[in-house]
């Protein structure tokens, strides 16, 4: 998965960090149990504690919240990740900058020669964050932090440094697993990202611009966000300040549990502008387990093209409200086609999991084991229907919908595609007369 902000964490002291539009992408909890497990650590140790009632939370927020107990309990498991990359350099010129370098993008746009000139190989240093997930030295970080790295160094909170081995990296989810030769390390605890609600407090710890173990806080702005080229991940949106160097670091809830990996920002300046995204920890853990076990990640596919259901479409199809993923194309002879799915069906549930937006469908299907059978609860002809589909494996050959897809549209990197509905599809009275290719 290629990301326009893939070099968000690159640290280049001699260059200003400049970018016109910056968008980049992960996971963890804390080793020692808290005095009262399950209760917000902030509430246990802060001078002004937080209760679960909205009224008291509101008043406490107005006075200010002390996150120091959470940081003290969890910060030891957060690490700094520094990398060295080697980029071959041709004669200097704006077109020769690395494709994923925001500074190089700035140079290309304004025709400024690259500072490294004609050097045959230019070592570039990058920096990100990560967190320890096992006492024997497994570390989670972002894949783009360690991409193309010739050397990776992990620095602990106690200032010890270790050369890290890359166990595996999954670009589609932007999750990477590192291993350092150390023992009895402090580790994070994992929380449940699915339980997050907009408005809840979250805390990010990382190394923005190289300032190690910086702490920022904010709230959950939204869940299950879909980003370009990121449809396998239902991102958590927050307003916690995340900047270059934060990528790969943990996002904590008030219980001191990791619920996400800080991954991307949206910015016009290259810095924080109030919109940050994190990879849900359940997605990251699944990737972590597979990378450690087999070195690769398997994902499911059913071969459909889907789009969101608008209010107008919901009314046309007889739904009580806009929800679900409208199937606008089906891969010919694919799993969904074999199961009888057709354009115009609206997928409402996947094995009992509600589908509100089409982006959620991609993540749910990708999480399924190839070869398994999934039950789709769909809306067809103004009535609910259950359809069983055998899940196929997603690979590079099936990432893009084939040309034989029935009523295919503009493809994405997720195996799903979106296009506007035809007039016949907008009007259910004309659907029966539509000729499907």
Residue 356: CB partners within 8 Å, gap ≥ 6?
224, 323, 324
Domains of the chain, residue spans: 1-294, 300-431
Please give the distance of CA 5 from its chain centroid, rounded to a whole number. Answer: 13
Report d(CA 416, CA 400) in Å as an integer. 7
Using CA atoms, how far apart are residues 321 and 341, in angstroms rounded to an integer? 22
- Nearest Cα neighbor of 176 from 293, 292, 3, 98 is 292
CATH class held by domain 300-431: mainly beta
Name beta bridge partners: 86.
123
**Residue in the structure block whose two tokens are 């230019």:** 122
The pLDDT of residue 41 is: 56
How many whole angstroms separate alpha carbon 37 and alpha carbon 49? Answer: 16
Please report the pLDDT score of residue 394 as a whole number.
Answer: 86
What CA–CA distance (Å, rounded) separates 60 from 49?
8
C-alpha angle 163/164/168, rounded to 5°? 160
Which of 55-69, 177-191, 192-206, 232-246 is least confident?
55-69
Q: Where residue 2 falls among pLDDT bands split at 50, 70, 90?
A: very low
How far apart are alpha carbons 288 and 140 in whole angstroms? 8
Among residues 101, 174, 282, 331, the one annotated as catalytic is: 174
Non-local CB neighbours of 103 within 8 Å, separated by 6+ positions? 12, 15, 16, 17, 18, 19, 97
**Average model confidence (pLDDT) across the chain:** 76
pLDDT tens-digit readout, 284-305: 999 999 999 998 899 999 999 8
Considering the segment(s) 1-294 as one domain, its CATH architecture is Beta Barrel (2.40)
> How far does Cα 67 stand from its chain's mean position?
25
Paired with 386 in beta bridges are 377
Q: Is residue 337 flagged as an active site residue?
A: no
Residue 150 pLDDT > 50: yes
Q: How confident is the model at residue 69 (pLDDT cuts 50, 70, 90)?
A: very high
Q: 257-267 and 189-190 as β-strands: parallel, antiparallel, unpaired? A: parallel
Rounded CA separation 189/50 (Å): 21
- Give CA separation, 54 vs 57, 58, 65, in Å: 5, 6, 15
* Of 142, 173, 247, 286, catalytic: 247
* 65's tokens: 């919240």
pTM: 0.69
Is 247 marked active-site?
yes
CA-to-CA distance for 417 and 325, rounded, in angstroms? 12
Q: Catalytic: 174?
A: yes
Per-residue pLDDT, 400: 41
Q: Point out the catalytic residue in the list 82, 100, 129, 144.
A: 144
Among candidate residues 190, 200, 102, the one with its CA nearest the CA of residue 144: 102
């Amino acid at each position: 998965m290629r990301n326009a902000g893939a070099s968000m964490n690159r640290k280049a002291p001699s260059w200003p960090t400049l970018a016109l539009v910056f968008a980049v992408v992960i996971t963890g909890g804390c080793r020692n149990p808290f005095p009262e497990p399950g209760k917000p650590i902030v509430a246990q140790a802060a001078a002004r504690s937080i209760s679960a009632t909205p009224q008291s939370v509101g008043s406490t927020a107005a006075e200010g919240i002390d996150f120091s107990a959470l940081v003290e309990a969890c910060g030891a498991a957060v690490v700094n990740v520094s990398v060295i990359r080697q980029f071959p350099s041709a004669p200097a010129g704006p077109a020769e900058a690395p494709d994923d370098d925001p500074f190089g993008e700035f140079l290309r746009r304004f025709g400024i020669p690259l500072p490294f000139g004609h050097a045959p190989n230019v070592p570039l240093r990058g920096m990100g964050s990560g967190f320890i997930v096992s006492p024997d030295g497994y570390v989670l970080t972002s894949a783009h932090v360690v991409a193309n790295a010739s050397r990776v160094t992990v620095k602990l909170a106690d200032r010890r440094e270790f050369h890290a081995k890359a166990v595996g990296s999954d670009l589609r989810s932007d999750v990477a697993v590192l291993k350092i030769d150390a023992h009895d390390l402090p580790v994070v605890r994992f929380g449940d990202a699915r339980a997050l609600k907009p408005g809840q407090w979250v805390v990010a710890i990382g190394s923005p611009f190289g300032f190690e173990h910086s702490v920022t806080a904010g709230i959950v702005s939204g869940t299950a966000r879909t980003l370009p080229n990121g449809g396998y991940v239902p991102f958590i949106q927050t307003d916690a300040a995340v900047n270059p160097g934060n990528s790969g670091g943990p996002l904590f809830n008030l219980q001191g549990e990791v619920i996400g990996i800080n991954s991307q920002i949206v910015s016009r300046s290259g810095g924080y502008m109030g919109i940050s995204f994190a990879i849900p920890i359940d997605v990251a853990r699944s990737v972590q387990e597979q990378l450690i076990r087999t070195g690769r990640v398997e994902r499911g596919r059913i071969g459909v093209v889907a789009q969101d259901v608008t209010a107008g479409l919901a009314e046309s199809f007889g739904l009580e409200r806009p929800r679900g993923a409208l199937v606008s194309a089906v891969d010919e002879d694919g799993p969904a086609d074999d199961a009888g799915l057709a354009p115009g069906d609206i997928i409402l549930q996947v094995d009992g999991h509600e589908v509100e937006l089409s982006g959620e469908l991609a993540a749910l299907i990708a999480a399924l084991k190839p070869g398994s059978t999934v039950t789709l609860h769909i809306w067809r002809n103004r009535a609910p229907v259950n359809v069983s589909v055998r899940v196929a494996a997603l690979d590079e050959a099936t990432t893009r919908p084939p040309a034989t897809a029935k009523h295919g549209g503009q493809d994405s990197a997720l195996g799903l595609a979106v296009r506007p509905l035809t007039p016949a599809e907008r009007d259910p009275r004309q659907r029966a007369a539509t000729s499907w290719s």
